[in-house]
Amino acid sequence: MNGERGAWQRFLASDFFYDFKRSPVTLVSFVIVVTLILLAILADLVAPTNPFDPASLNLMNGFTPPMEPNAFTGETFLFGTDDQGRDLLSAIIYGLRVSLFVGLTAVILAMVLGVSLGLLAGYRGGWIDSLIMRIADIQMTFPSILIAVLIFGVARGLLPPDLRDELAISVLIIAIGLSEWVPFARTVRGTTMVEKEKEYVQAARLIGLGSGQIMLRHILPNVLSPVLVIATITLALAIIAEATLSFLGVGAPPTEPSLGTLIRIGQDFLFSGEWWILLFPSVTLLALALSVNLLGDWLRDTLNPRLK
């Protein structure tokens, strides 16, 4: 049998794909997200200059407005330049890479943590369940950005000063990941409590499988579709959280600017007339976060049979 081709054709004929084709908003969001992700991955090939390389910067190019030749060097930049003479288009493409990388890895961390704790709480019940869910409740009473700032601050305090900039991105990922695990855990716990009563789980217990194997092999595949929806929506949250932290100056270091860092830099020059330094990174962030969110909403509606 031609498995690969069969699967692809089944996908094209599925309700899932039909729904997708019929929603123009989803199509546009999908194209935007894919374009931005491709730009981020191919940054080295696409970007006109490398904004992280100080040797390529020419201070004389500073504050060049978009699409106008620079008064001294005569160079033209599509999105203009910042105070250091850095090409904004390149800075945005590379910033997108940092933002997406931090967002995706933070979501993966939150997902692994939340799904494991949710499975454990739902399957075991009793005091383990109470402990995990009370921690989740307590964490939910604080805004997640506050949790992230707290974790970030503590981690920086513990790290030796010469490693701080180097590890800033990793700390950022951990901080955002730890602040977003609760929705995963809650959803997975609820679904697990339903699934574990089903007879296929009894059948697995009957042949003597341990709790770990039952959770991973039997229950996990059956709780994953809501997880996919939450992961998409959390991705938008994580990207915004990263931008917020970087905007506040506690996130990505200035040597590796993310979109949030660029917006912070741009904000300094807004009132002196250099509007483009703020505008372009902000629009990119908005397009990214909004598209991811709209995709998440569509996914939630499509995968939830009760909303049809």
Partner 1 sequence: MDEFIRFEHLGQRFDLSEPLLARLIYRRPKKFLDAVDDVSFSIERGQTYALVGESGSGKSTIARMAVGLLLPSTGKVLIDGHDLHDRSRTEAEHRRIRQRLQMIFQSPFASLNPRWRVGSILAEPLRVFGLVEDRAAELGRVHELLDQVGLSASDARRFPHEFSGGQRQRISIARALASNPDFIVCDEPTSALDVSVQAQVLNLLKQLQRDLGLTYLFITHDLAVVRVMAHRIGVLKSGKLVEEQATAELIESPQSDYTKMLIRSAPRIGSIQARTGMSQA
Query: Which of 200, 212, 255, 268 is in the footprint of partner 1 by CB under 8 A?
Result: 200
User: Is 209 an interacting residue with respect to partner 1 (CB under 8 A)?
Assistant: yes
User: CB 202 → partner 1: shortest distance, Å?
Assistant: 6
Tell me the chain's radius of gyration from C-alpha atoms.
23
Q: Quick one: the chain helix, strand, coil %, rounded to 5?
A: 75, 0, 20
User: Is 199 an interacting residue with respect to partner 1 (CB under 8 A)?
Assistant: yes
Query: Which of 221, 254, 268, 304 is in the footprint of partner 1 by CB under 8 A?
Result: 221
Piece of the chain touching partner 1 by CB under 8 A; list 100-108, 192-200, 273-281, 295-303: 192-200
User: CB 221 → partner 1: shortest distance, Å?
Assistant: 4
Can you read off the two tokens belonging to residue 154?
A: 């503590």
User: Is 218 an interacting residue with respect to partner 1 (CB under 8 A)?
Assistant: yes
Question: Which of residues 3 and 273 has its CB atom nearest to partner 1 in the complex?
Answer: 3
Query: Residues 268-287: x/- map of binding to partner 1 (CB under 8 A)?
Result: --------------------
What's the CA gap between 81 and 91, in Å, rounded? 9
Among 101, 93, 83, smallest CA distance to 51 is for: 93
Report whether 256 contacts 171 (CB < 8 A).
Answer: no
User: Is 208 an interacting residue with respect to partner 1 (CB under 8 A)?
Assistant: yes
Please tell me what DSSP assigns to residue 65: P
Please tell me what DSSP assigns to residue 270: G
Question: Which of residues 209 and 290 has its CB atom nearest to partner 1 in the complex?
Answer: 209
User: CB 300 → partner 1: shortest distance, Å?
Assistant: 20
Question: Which of residues 35 and 202 has its CB atom nearest to partner 1 in the complex?
Answer: 202
User: Is 207 an interacting residue with respect to partner 1 (CB under 8 A)?
Assistant: yes
User: Is 202 an interacting residue with respect to partner 1 (CB under 8 A)?
Assistant: yes
Q: Which H, E and C letters describe 59-76, residue by residue?
A: HHHCCCCCCCCCCCCCCC
Query: 102-127 burial, b if ≥16 CB within 10 A, otherwise e?
Result: bbbbbbebbbebbbbbbbbbbbeeee
User: Is 15 an interacting residue with respect to partner 1 (CB under 8 A)?
Assistant: no
User: Is 206 an interacting residue with respect to partner 1 (CB under 8 A)?
Assistant: yes
User: Is 204 an interacting residue with respect to partner 1 (CB under 8 A)?
Assistant: yes
Among 230, 107, 110, smallest CA distance to 181 is for: 110
3-state secondary structure of 116: helix
Residues in contact with partner 1 by CB under 8 A are 198-200, 202-209, 218, 221-222
